[in-house]
Amino acid sequence: MELLELASRFALKANPVEIKPLGEGFINDTYLVYVEGSDSPEYILQRKNHIVFPDVPAMMDNIKKVTEHIKSKVTDPLRDTLTVIPAKDGKLYFKDGNGNFWAVCLFIKGSKSFDRADNPELAYQGGKGLGAFHKQVSDFSEPLVEVIKGFHNMRFRINQWEECVKRNAAGRAASIQEEISWVESRKDKILDFWKQVEDGTIPMRVTHNDTKISNFLFNEADGSLLCAIDLDTMMSSTLLNDLGDAFRSYTNTGAEDDQNLDNVSMSMDMFKAYVEGYMSEMKDSLSESEKKYLAFSGIVITYEQVLRFLMDYIDGDIYYKTKYPEHNLVRTRAQYKLLQSMEEQLPQMEAFVNSL
Ligand code: ADP
Ligand code: GN1
Ligand code: MG
C-alpha cells in the first residue's frame, strides 16, 4: 500500500500530499506527513514493529491513556505531550493488508531533537524533562499493558542471554569469547542489585523505558525541554531504568556505535548537569533506595545494552536495524567502553548525588 494512501486512512485535517522518511530509530519506521494547504509537516506516520511489539493495539491504548493524563496537567496540551490521531474508523492504529500496523500523531512544530548532548545546559534540560515527565505520570493509576515482556527486567534479560549463548543461532559465539566474558563477569553484581526491585525495596512506577536523548523534543526557540516522545515502551518499571538509560545516552562523549573507542567515555559534567535537572523536579519524590542506586543505574542499563547488542549479534542481527554486517558488535564494544568508564567513575558519581 502506498504511504499516502495509508496516511489517508487516518482522521487528518486535510488530504495528505507528501510523505518523507525521518529519523534513525532502530525499531520502527518513521515518516513526516504533509497535507494540502500547509508547507510544513503536520503529522508523524509510523510503522510500528509488530515483531518487537506483539500487541500494537494494547500499546497504542497505553499511549493514548498516558498522553490524555498528561494533557490534563500541562499548559499547552498540543505541544507538551504527543497527540495520537485515530484512524477514520476510530481505532488508534491501521492494520494494512500485509499485517503491518501504522499509527499517526501530531507533528510538534517548533521542536528539535538531538542525537548527542554536547553541552551541560542541554543535559540539564533533558534531566528536568525526564523529572517533569515522571512527575506528570506519578499519579497515573490505571494498569498499563507490559508491551515487551521483561523489557528492562535484569533477571529476564540474563536468562534470555544464557539461552542465547547456548543456542548460538548464527554460529558466532566462538569468535567473541572476550565480549561474552564482559557480560558473564558482571551477571552476579547486576542480579544482586535487581533483587531489590524484586523484593520491593526499589518501587515500581510508571516509566518511559527508552529515554535516550533523541526520544525527547526540545523547544527550537530557547532550547528548553518540550516533552518525551517515542512512548511505545511506557509501562511499569523502576525509574532507575529511565535514569540509567538517560545517563547512557546523555553522558557518552562518543556515539553509541563509535568505531573509535577513544571517543567514548562517561562525561562527569553531563552527568552532573542531568542529575541537577532531574532533581530540580523529583528530589522530594525519590525514595531512599532510588537515591542510593541513582548513580549505579547507569551501569545497570549500559550493561543491559552491551548484553542486548551482543545477544542480537549472536542471534544473527534479528532485532535491531543494522547498517553493516558487524554493526551490533561495534555497538557492543562502544557500549562496553562506556560501561567501563562509568565503573571507574562510580565513586565520584555517587559522591555527587550524595552532595545534593
Ligand atoms: P523511532 O521509533 O524511529 O525512534 P521516534 O518516535 O523516536 O521514532 O521519532 C524519531 C524522530 O522523529 C525523533 O527523534 C524526532 O526528531 C522526530 N519526531 C518524532 N515524533 C515527533 C513529533 N510528534 N513532533 C516532532 N518531531 C517528532
Ligand atoms: C531502541 O526505537 P529506538 O531506536 O528509540 C530500543 C531501545 C534501545 C535503543 C538503543 C523497543 O530504541 O531499548 O535502548 O534502541 N527500543 C526497543 O539505541 O527495543
Ligand atoms: Mg526514538
SS (H, E, C) 62-128: HHHHHHHHHHCCCCCCCCCCCCEECECCCCCCEECCCCCEEEEEECCCCEECCCCCCCHHHHHHHHH
Q: What is the mean pLDDT of residues 288-301?
A: 98
Q: Nearest to residue 240, comparing CAs of 204, 214, 216?
A: 204
In ligand 2, the atom with minimum distance to the C-alpha of 28 is: 2
* Grid cell for residue 116: 548527542
0.85 cut: is pTM over it?
Answer: yes
CA distance 303 to 308: 9
pLDDT at residue number 24: 74
Question: Between β-strands 94-95 and 205-207, what pairing exists: parallel, antiparallel or unpaired?
Answer: unpaired
15 Cα: distance to centroid of ligand 2 (angstroms)? 32
Mutation to probe ligand 1, out of 44, 67, 82, 115 (largest number of atoms < 8 A from CB): 44
% the chain with pLDDT above 70: 100
In ligand 2, the atom with minimum distance to the C-alpha of 215 is: 5
pLDDT in tens, 107-133: 999 999 999 999 999 999 999 999 999
Pocket flag, ligand 1, residue 29 (CB < 6 Å): no
Ligand 2 pocket: which residues have CB below 6 Å? 25-27, 52, 210, 212, 215, 230, 233, 256, 305
CA distance 48 to 235: 17
Question: With the CA atoms of 329, 332, 333 and 338 taken in that order, what torsion angle do they form, in degrees rounded to the nearest 10?
Answer: 160
Pocket flag, ligand 1, residue 25 (CB < 6 Å): yes
| Residue 233: DSSP 8-state | G
- Contact predicate 301/245, CB 8 Å: yes
117 Cα: distance to centroid of ligand 2 (angstroms)? 17
Instruction: Write the residue with the smallest CA distance to atom 13 of ligand 2.
Output: 210
pLDDT at residue number 25: 79
- Contact predicate 121/218, CB 8 Å: no
pLDDT above 90 for 2:
yes
pLDDT at residue number 214: 94
Pocket flag, ligand 1, residue 83 (CB < 6 Å): no
pLDDT in tens, 173-187: 999 999 999 999 999
Average pLDDT, the chain: 96
* Grid cell for residue 270: 553531563
pLDDT above 80 for 93:
yes
Q: Nearest to residue 334, comparing CAs of 306, 295, 296?
A: 306
pLDDT above 70 for 271:
yes
pLDDT in tens, 57-83: 999 999 999 999 999 999 999 999 999
Q: What is the mean pLDDT of residues 295-304?
A: 98
% the chain with pLDDT above 90: 98
Cβ neighbours of residue 174 closer than 8 Å, sequence gap 6 or more = none
Instruction: Write the residue with the smallest CA distance to atom 10 of ligand 1.
Output: 23
Size of the chain in residues: 356
Mutation to probe ligand 1, out of 113, 225, 231, 233 (largest number of atoms < 8 A from CB): 113
25 Cα: distance to centroid of ligand 2 (angstroms)? 7
pLDDT at residue number 23: 74
| Residue 10: DSSP 8-state | B
Q: What is the mean pLDDT of residues 192-196?
A: 98
165-177 in b/e form (b: 16+ CB < 10 A) is beeeeeebbeebe
pLDDT in tens, 37-51: 999 999 999 999 999
Alpha helices in the chain (DSSP H): 3-7, 56-71, 120-137, 154-167, 177-184, 187-198, 239-250, 268-282, 288-292, 296-315, 327-355
pLDDT in tens, 219-264: 999 989 999 999 999 999 999 999 999 999 999 999 999 999 999 9
In ligand 2, the atom with minimum distance to the C-alpha of 27 is: 2
What residues does the ion ligand 3 have nearby, CB within 5 Å?
25, 215, 230
More confident residue, 23 or 20: 20
Q: What is the mean pLDDT of residues 307-321?
A: 97
Q: What is the mean pLDDT of residues 191-206?
A: 97
pLDDT at residue number 1: 67
Provide the 3-class DSSP secondary structure of residue 192.
Answer: helix
